[in-house]
Amino acid sequence: MRQQLLFASADEPWTWVKGYLSGRQQTLLMEEAETYPYERPEVTVYGKAHRIPRTQIWFGDAGVEYQYSGLLVSPTPWPHYAQRLREQLRRDFGLMSNGVLVNRYAGGRDCMGWHADDEAELLPGSDIASVSLGDGRDFVVRHNRTGQKQTLHLESGDLLLMHFPMQQDWQHALPKRLRQQGTRWNFTFRCLIPGFHSCTV
């Protein structure tokens, strides 16, 4: 029998469900994720253009455009198993989402710097669900005011629910881990305000 462990605390605005996906679900989703047409976009940081240190793709409902790191990205239609996971999250946790950002880390050099998912088009009050697959990696969170840090070692099949208003008070990052070579995928299911970027008023 599959074991799921749920860690939630009144002090922390996240819920960590270890082993949320079965081994079979992980395999099917990883096989699908290997077929996605990822991109490595260029972003401008402090006036300098860089390729991001990972590849990624945004899937979503029609018209749900996402702007991050200065890029405006139109949605690619939902692939089968990502769509099924979206429905599972809605059934299990009432998690509403209309898009998912998939990041693929081709080894321990690929990473994501400190940031919060606090873009203006995210629906106020909505939670973000992060599902990890493949190589286990450290995910670090840091409180904006106190500087308190915690490292969560996210393994394949784990779910991290980031509850509103975590993004206002905490930043997170996926640091480099040079000794790791395996591939990792991360799916963050988000709920955006539809039409946010097409509003011309």
Ligand X SMILES: O=C(O)CCC(=O)C(=O)O
Which positions lie near ligand X, rule CB under 6 A?
A: 101, 103, 112, 117, 130, 139, 172, 174, 186, 188
Rank residues 183 and 188 by Cβ distance to ligand X and give the closer one: 188
Q: Which sign, positive or negative, has the C-alpha torsion 91, 86, 118, 156?
A: positive
The nearest distance, CB 201 to ligand X, in angstroms, is: 29
What token pair was written down for 170?
A: 């905490």
The nearest distance, CB 47 to ligand X, in angstroms, is: 23
Rank residues 175 and 201 by Cβ distance to ligand X and give the closer one: 175
Instruction: Determine if residue 107 is left, alpha or beta; phi over 0 gives left, psi from -120 to 50 gives alpha, anything else beta.
Output: left
The nearest distance, CB 168 to ligand X, in angstroms, is: 15
The nearest distance, CB 158 to ligand X, in angstroms, is: 10
Rank residues 25 and 102 by Cβ distance to ligand X and give the closer one: 102
The nearest distance, CB 200 to ligand X, in angstroms, is: 28
Rank residues 33 and 101 by Cβ distance to ligand X and give the closer one: 101
Rank residues 139 and 170 by Cβ distance to ligand X and give the closer one: 139
